[in-house]
């Protein structure tokens, strides 16, 4: 199931700094106009590769630069948000996308 880039926050690193670092490392984009979207809790979700308890801090942002996926990304597509709903997204990514489509206030 598909999801977006993400990763762990390093010790002493702020959430937005972690977001910028992970997107730069995983897809080569610099982020502009970052805004908080929502927090989701993944409690032993079968959609992840191992049982774990995660808090997912989700943001919206504009990307700048060319997409250059790293070795962690097996497949990717760049498409309008409405079209992404036709893809096999995990439930957490789908919820974030639906929040985005609700409009600026979410």
Give the pLDDT confidence score for residue 104 in this predicted structure: 66
CA distance 57 to 39: 5
What kind of fold does domain 15-102 have according to CATH?
A: Nucleoside Triphosphate Pyrophosphohydrolase (3.90.79)
pLDDT of 103 strictly over 70: yes
Confidence of residue 14 (pLDDT cuts 50, 70, 90): very high
> Domain ranges in the chain?
15-102
Give the pLDDT confidence score for residue 7 in this predicted structure: 85
Give the rounded distance of the alpha carbon of 93 from its chain centre: 7
- How confident is the model over 43-72, as a mean pLDDT? 90
- How confident is the model over 31-42, as a mean pLDDT? 96
Residues 82-96 pLDDT 10s: 999 999 999 999 999
Give the rounded distance of the alpha carbon of 52 from its chain centre: 18
Q: Which pTM value belongs to this model? A: 0.86
């Amino acid at each position: 199931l598909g999801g977006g880039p993400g990763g762990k926050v390093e010790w002493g690193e702020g959430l937005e700094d972690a977001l910028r670092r992970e997107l730069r490392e995983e897809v080569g984009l610099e982020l502009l106009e970052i805004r908080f979207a929502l927090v989701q809790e993944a409690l032993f979700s079968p959609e992840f590769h191992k049982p774990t308890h995660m808090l997912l801090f989700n943001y919206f942002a504009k990307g700048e630069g060319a997409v250059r996926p790293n070795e962690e990304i097996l497949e990717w597509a760049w498409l309008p948000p409405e079209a992404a709903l036709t893809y096999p997204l995990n439930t957490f990514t789908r919820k974030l996308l639906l929040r985005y489509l609700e409009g600026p206030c979410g």
